[in-house]
Amino acid sequence: MADEDVEITGRIKDKLIEEKQAWAREGRLLTGTSADPARDRLPPGQLLVTDWPVLDLGAEPNVTEQKFRLDVDGAVESWLSLSFAEFMALPQAESVSDIHCVTQWSRYDNRWQGVAARTILELVQPKPEARYVIFHAFDGYTTNVRLEQFDQPDVFLVHMWDGKPLSRAHGGPVRVLMPRLYFWKSAKWLRRIQFTISDHKGFWEQRGYHNNGDPWTEERYS
């Protein structure tokens, strides 16, 4: 019975992944236009929503605060391995930003609390040769960004949304927030931040999604 459930979940998951991959191949949702974030608030081809859709590979890991651990390693001067309490003891910040998902929805004015990416960078000190950052999640998901994209004032590791602890469905206890990129770059259930010298494509990047993911120039697919 339990095995059957797992198989069915596996099949649903495979179907979803195949469908998204097909969209990437066909270049679905591309409008062929771009917008200027200084002038426009909604990127091209996006539709505004007020709810917050849940999108993931289907297996939402139950990461309790006891099970949580965040490792920061790779091409850095000092590695970090934090328990949830240690993570929460780092300087905390608040920010408000918009979400833009590649599946065409955007959601304005999300209020987040968490630790700034720049706080992590100060602690670990990336080596001069470090150029990329890979996020690894508790569900096996990965996604890659360039170091300069991570090193921005609006990038956070968040644990609160709208004044409440981030829900399990949305990646609690801690997820990445990279508001200038499509939301697939914002890894949920964050487990590890790896600094690398060369680029390694993440889960969706290997399956036809754009390596960069800028919503303003519609970098949906590669």
* Residues binding ligand MTE (CB under 6 A): 52-57, 101, 137, 139, 141, 170-171, 183-184, 186-189
CA gap 192, 140 in Å, rounded: 11
> Coil, strand, or helix at residue 88?
helix
Residue closer to Mo ion by CB (options 84, 161) is 161
Which residue from 193, 190, 192 is spatially nearest to 174, judged by alpha carbons?
Answer: 190
**Shortest Cβ distance from residue 141 to ligand MTE (Å)?**
3
Residue closer to ligand MTE by CB (options 23, 184) is 184
Residue closer to ligand MTE by CB (options 43, 89) is 43
**Shortest Cβ distance from residue 184 to Mo ion (Å)?**
4
Residue closer to ligand MTE by CB (options 36, 51) is 51
CA gap 208, 72 in Å, rounded: 27
Pick one of ligand MTE, Mo ion, none as the site partner of residue 53 (Cβ within 5 to 8 A by kind): ligand MTE
Pick one of ligand MTE, Mo ion, none as the site partner of residue 170 (Cβ within 5 to 8 A by kind): ligand MTE
**Shortest Cβ distance from residue 207 to Mo ion (Å)?**
11
Pick one of Mo ion, ligand MTE, none as the site partner of residue 221 (Cβ within 5 to 8 A by kind): none
Q: Where is 21: in which H helix or E strand?
A: helix 2-26
**Shortest Cβ distance from residue 63 to ligand MTE (Å)?**
10
Inter-CA distances, 214 with 41, 49, 78, 102, Å: 14, 19, 31, 10
Q: How far apart are the first and last CA of the chain?
A: 40
Pick one of ligand MTE, Mo ion, none as the site partner of residue 49 (Cβ within 5 to 8 A by kind): none
Going through the chain in order, the beta strands assigned E by DSSP cover 47-48, 70-74, 80-82, 93-100, 105-116, 132-137, 142-146, 156-161, 164-165, 175-177, 190-196
**Shortest Cβ distance from residue 194 to Mo ion (Å)?**
21
Q: What is the DSSP letter of 167?
A: P
Q: Where are the alpha helices (DSSP H) in 136-204?
A: 147-150
Point out which residues bind Mo ion (CB under 5 A): 55, 184
Pick one of ligand MTE, Mo ion, none as the site partner of residue 188 (Cβ within 5 to 8 A by kind): ligand MTE
Structure tokens at 37: 């974030």
Residue closer to Mo ion by CB (options 17, 88) is 17
Residue closer to ligand MTE by CB (options 87, 184) is 184
Q: What is the DSSP letter of 138?
A: T
